[in-house]
Homo-oligomer: A and B are copies of this chain.
Amino acid sequence: MPDDILPCDADLIARLSSMLPPAALLTGAAIDPRYQEDRRARFSAPPRLVIRPSSTAELSAALAACNDARQRLVIQGGRTGLSGAHRIQPAEAVLSLERMTGLDAPDPESRTIVAGSGVPLQRVQDAADGANLMFGVDIGSRGTATVGGIIATNAGGNRVIRYGMTRAQVAGLEVVLADGSVLSCMRGLEKDNSGYDLKQLFVGSEGTLGVVTRALLTLHAKPQFETNALLAMPSVEAAMALLQGLRSRLGETLSAFEFMTEDIYHGAASEAGVSDPLTTAGPIYVLAEIQSQQGQEAATDPFMESLSDAIENGLVLDAVIANSMREFLSLWEIRDSCADYVRRQEGVANGDISVPVGRIPDFLDESRRRLLKIDPASRFLTFGHLADGNLHYVFCTTRKEEAVACLMNLVSDFSGSISAEHGIGLDKKHWLPLARSAAEIETMKRLKIALDPNNILNSGRIFDP
């Protein structure tokens, strides 16, 4: 009987049953197949059992029991991760945060909100919106991705240029360590240098060092006005020049600068059911957004002037500026549909990579040249967050393995990152040495052993112990 279908240790089940309410523990036939869901459609093993605590106390008790029994756990939020960290490995039990869904009202004075780790991102966004505030993290999977998941992966998304990654918006965390001890770092003071800032350890460590149970999230003033524009452009160089121009003219008002190559643009527009709003085609498309605390005119005038100048200078071939909330959302709908369109293509290879912003044009040239050499029929569907140097380097090829290896090595040559915002999980750990030195990986392992000596939390994610 292979290890992956061995029943869970009966003593552990008995201990968990005695400490948890029935809804918090699923075994056998009661386990829904949804825990095996995976956006990359890779094999996810059946879990030995599913623990679904609804409080920090339950979670702490369950973790202590699993730690004593050396039961490995895979931690699951919304299962929207793209590197397989939530994918169940043989002999693992699931620790699902789906019932940690407490959400306080936003505090308008400190501009913060306390959210359970199982709360979907969109609920946080909506709660902030209802208090005339906003949460600065936004990703396409907002309806399903959870607070715990965006923290564990230090999610980036569409507005990093303005608000930073998730890390910049975590003012406090409550975390349970593998042995069940609870770290409450929830005071959220603007300034606090009383010992190590422990919460930083858990942001972006993909559930390997501890389990986030609650977070104190920083909110921002809701923009008084926002609009966006979709632009057809003659080249990546033109997009880079426009980005520089908008940044120096608009400063922090520029809140997104998203990039699509022509095939993905047309594919995503048809996926979204939006007819192309532009009359002139270009090899490159950009979706630029501004968010302002000033009135419509004060915000729009410099944006419009910048775009007019760019059209005059030949940087922009064609532009459409949203004139209504409906148009604003419809332009975002195109961008948000890129991932759905990609998911339906054949032979897709994927790299969530970043390179220093100034080197993007060279990187795109050189990578295309090399990938076409491997497979002259390669089809490029690259899109991403140009202002952050972050490309979702998607392409279709029949020689995937060789092509991705070529891409990742080139990223390394360009001093870039092999995972800009999706994390390493299971799927990218064999590439980690391209991004991090032996000394860095050794240090990660030392931290893992210090906080999870029995290696029960998301074992084998990021690196092998």
**A195 cross-chain contacts in B, Cβ below 8 A:** 424, 432, 435-436, 440-441, 444, 462-463
Q: Which parts of A135-176 form the interface with B (CB within 8 Å)? A: 153-154, 156, 160, 165, 167-168
How many Å lie between the Cα of A252 and that of B444 in the bound state?
37
**A36 cross-chain contacts in B, Cβ below 8 A:** none
**A201 cross-chain contacts in B, Cβ below 8 A:** 196, 200-201, 447
**A462 cross-chain contacts in B, Cβ below 8 A:** 195-196
Say which residue of B183, B221, B436 sits within 8 Å of A439 (CB atoms): B183
B197 and A154 form a contact (CB under 8 A):
yes
B451 and A189 form a contact (CB under 8 A):
no
Q: Mark A212-232, 1 if CB is under 8 A from B, else 0.
A: 000000000100000000000
Q: Mark A416-455, 1 if CB is under 8 A from B, else 0.
A: 1111111110001000100111011111101101110000
A354 and B204 form a contact (CB under 8 A):
no
Report the stretch among A114-122, A310-318, A333-341, A382-390 that lies at the interface.
A382-390
How many Å lie between the Cα of A225 and that of B330 in the bound state?
39
A160 and B194 form a contact (CB under 8 A):
no
**A463 cross-chain contacts in B, Cβ below 8 A:** 195
Q: Is A181 an interface residue (CB 8 A)?
A: yes
How many Å lie between the Cα of A153 and that of B197 in the bound state?
11
Nearest CB of B to A254, in Å = 13
B204 and A417 form a contact (CB under 8 A):
no
Nearest CB of B to A462, in Å = 5
**A156 cross-chain contacts in B, Cβ below 8 A:** 191, 193
A388 and B190 form a contact (CB under 8 A):
yes
How many Å lie between the Cα of A440 and that of B200 in the bound state?
13
Nearest CB of B to A177, in Å = 7
**A197 cross-chain contacts in B, Cβ below 8 A:** 154, 167, 200, 203-204
**A432 cross-chain contacts in B, Cβ below 8 A:** 194-195
How many Å lie between the Cα of A58 and that of B441 in the bound state?
23
Q: Mark A289-332, 1 if CB is under 8 A from B, else 0.
A: 00001000000000000000000000000000000000000000
A443 and B198 form a contact (CB under 8 A):
yes
Q: Is A80 an interface residue (CB 8 A)?
A: no
Say which residue of B181, B191, B388, B436 sits within 8 Å of A388 (CB atoms): B191
A446 and B450 form a contact (CB under 8 A):
yes
B442 and A181 form a contact (CB under 8 A):
yes
Q: Is A280 an interface residue (CB 8 A)?
A: no
**A419 cross-chain contacts in B, Cβ below 8 A:** 192-194
How many Å lie between the Cα of A189 and that of B185 in the bound state?
27
CB nearest to A431 among chain B residues: B194
CB nearest to A422 among chain B residues: B193
**A17 cross-chain contacts in B, Cβ below 8 A:** none
CB nearest to A110 among chain B residues: B356
How many Å lie between the Cα of A198 and that of B444 in the bound state?
8
**A436 cross-chain contacts in B, Cβ below 8 A:** 194-195
A191 and B415 form a contact (CB under 8 A):
no
**A441 cross-chain contacts in B, Cβ below 8 A:** 195
A190 and B437 form a contact (CB under 8 A):
no
Q: Is A205 an interface residue (CB 8 A)?
A: yes
How many Å lie between the Cα of A444 and that of B183 in the bound state?
11
Say which residue of B193, B221, B422 sits within 8 Å of A420 (CB atoms): B193
29 example contacts (A-B, Cβ-Cβ < 8 A) are as follows: A109-B357, A109-B358, A156-B193, A168-B168, A181-B439, A182-B439, A187-B415, A187-B416, A187-B417, A189-B354, A189-B417, A190-B387, A191-B389, A191-B417, A192-B354, A192-B419, A192-B420, A193-B421, A194-B417, A194-B428, A194-B436, A195-B441, A195-B444, A196-B204, A196-B443, A196-B462, A251-B293, A446-B451, A450-B450
- Seen from chain A, the residues whose Cβ lies within 8 Å of a Cβ on chain B are 109-110, 153-154, 156, 160, 165, 167-168, 177, 181-185, 187, 189-198, 200-201, 203-205, 209, 221, 251-252, 293, 354-358, 385, 387-390, 415-424, 428, 432, 435-437, 439-444, 446-447, 449-451, 462-463
A-B pairs, top 9 by smallest CB distance, nearest first, are A450-B450, A200-B200, A192-B417, A194-B435, A191-B420, A190-B388, A446-B450, A194-B419, A181-B439
A181-B439, A190-B387, A196-B204 known; 5 other A-B pairs, CB under 8 Å? A110-B357, A156-B191, A183-B437, A191-B385, A191-B390
